[in-house]
Amino acid sequence: MIKPHGSDNLNPLFVYDSKKHHALMQEAEGLPSITVSSAAAANAVMMGAGYFNPLTGYMNAADAMGCAENLQTTAGLFFPVPVLNLVQDIITISGASRIALRDPNVEGNPVLAIQDVDAIEEIIEEQMQTMTRQVFGTTDNNHPGVAAFNSQGRFAISGAIQVLNFSYFQTDFPDTFRTAVEIRNEIKEHGWEKVVAFQTRNPMHRAHEELCKMALEALNADGVVIHMLLGKLKQGDIPAPVRDASIRKMAELYFPPNTVMITGYGFDMLYAGPREAVLHALFRQNMGASYLIVGRDHAGVGDYYGAFDAQTIFDEQVPEGALEIKIFKADHTAYSKKLNKVVMMRDAPDHAKEDFVLLSGTKVREMLGQGIAPPPEFSRPEVAKILSDYYQSLDS
């Protein structure tokens, strides 16, 4: 199986030893504590789960700036985005060398992790603007990722962490949330060697389903891991439980046995387009995938990125050998009326626009909200039913 990023073995930061875990939980109750942002909590979950291997904790300002500007830390570790614990107020932890990080997304703000404080640095506006522009390609506050990043605060707490729980992800999604460690183990149990990963924050329609099957066939892979984001999304995106149900139904009915795993991970969407595509590749390598499918406008939002910027960044900005995982570059996919199947549009040069079944996301949402099933060429009827029930529940 492919090696993790930056080390021979995966080093998740979750404390699995029960005695040590209990002792740390007791220690945490006596430590100065701070409730972190949702983004910092998600970063802790990802480090605890091994997806951000080989990081040992939150970055300092120099490392964060290095990752933003040059995709690497000051020590030369390739990493495509800053991983920060940004807070607005440091009064409760002033002078502390060890602190408890509390979860903003769970009632009662339970302890999420313990952090050794290496430094607390105030990030000046110029640094925030540089990081924002480099990671998101814009400083427009209408971009949901930009707005979320710039709302966290200006004090960066750097240092190693020990993760003590996985926030709400394990309890809310017990059948879907998996750590990178668990996915590696499941891949071994399946007997798979060559594995394709598919990232999604949306339900999967026919085109997505067929894209996974195309990649499996083209790469002669053993299986595909459908890996859905379970964290915070922008307003209007479909909630994780609805996506989970629709994807599971599609996999159950339309994939051959032992070719697909349905899993999820605890992270808040950045909507950072190309940079987030590289981040997606990094943590899919850590979970044991050999390939990541990168399609049109991967991890994008609005009109901030070019249709295939998330593919070209791997050729233009990712140094050779920085990642071992490979990219399966996909074009826009649609159902061909001529061929009676889903194809990549680049593979059908003799087709005109009217030869494809093309529906906008807005049009599909309107149809589902009215209880009208999209054509079966676009969406499996069983999937459409789950989504239709959800959209109609919004109006009731």
Q: Model confidence over 210-260: pLDDT tens digits?
A: 999 999 999 999 999 999 999 887 777 788 889 999 999 999 999 999 999
pLDDT digits (tens, 9 = 90+) for 49-67: 999 999 999 999 999 999 9
Q: Do the two domains 18-170 and 174-395 of this chain adopt the same fold?
A: no
- 174-395 folds as Rossmann fold (3.40.50)
CATH superfamily of the 18-170 domain? Sulfate adenylyltransferase (3.10.400.10)
Using N-to-C axis directions, what is the helix angle for 240-254 and 381-395, rounded to 10°? 160
Residue (of 382, 383, 388, 396) closest to 368 by Cα position? 388
The CA distances from residue 290 to 117, 175, 284, 324, 348, in Å, are 36, 24, 8, 8, 28
- The confidence score (pLDDT) of residue 360 equals 67
- Cβ neighbours, 10 Å, residue 125: 9
Which of 116-120, 198-202, 272-276 shows the lowest mean pLDDT across its residues? Answer: 198-202
Residue (of 251, 239, 313) closest to 282 by Cα position? 313
The CA distances from residue 72 to 63, 294, 302, 318, in Å, are 7, 22, 28, 10
- Cβ distance 383 to 204 under 8 Å? yes
- Which strands make up the sheet holding 341-344, listed edge to edge? 341-344, 333-336, 356-357
Residues with Cβ within 8 Å of residue 73, at least 6 apart in sequence: 59, 63, 66, 67, 79
Residue 91 carries which DSSP code? G
The CA distances from residue 63 to 82, 84, 210, 305, in Å, are 7, 10, 40, 25
Using N-to-C axis directions, what is the helix angle for 125-136 and 61-70, rounded to 10°? 40
Q: Omega before 349 cis (within 30°)?
A: no
Arithmetic mean of pLDDT, 112-119: 98
- Cβ neighbours, 10 Å, residue 332: 16
User: Can you say whether the dihedral through the CA atoms of 214, 215, 220, 226 is positive or negative?
Assistant: negative
Does residue 29 register a pLDDT over 70?
yes
Residue 180 carries which DSSP code? H
- Which pTM value belongs to this model? 0.93
- The confidence score (pLDDT) of residue 365 equals 75
Taking the domains of the chain in order of start, what are their residue ranges?
A: 18-170, 174-395
- The confidence score (pLDDT) of residue 361 equals 67
Q: Which residues are catalytic?
A: 201-202
Does residue 362 register a pLDDT over 70?
no
Residues with Cβ within 8 Å of residue 6, at least 6 apart in sequence: 53, 54, 77, 78
Does residue 297 register a pLDDT over 90?
no
Residue 47 carries which DSSP code? H
Reported as a pLDDT band with limits 50, 70 and 90, residue 206 is: confident
- Cβ distance 307 to 273 under 8 Å? no
- The confidence score (pLDDT) of residue 205 equals 86
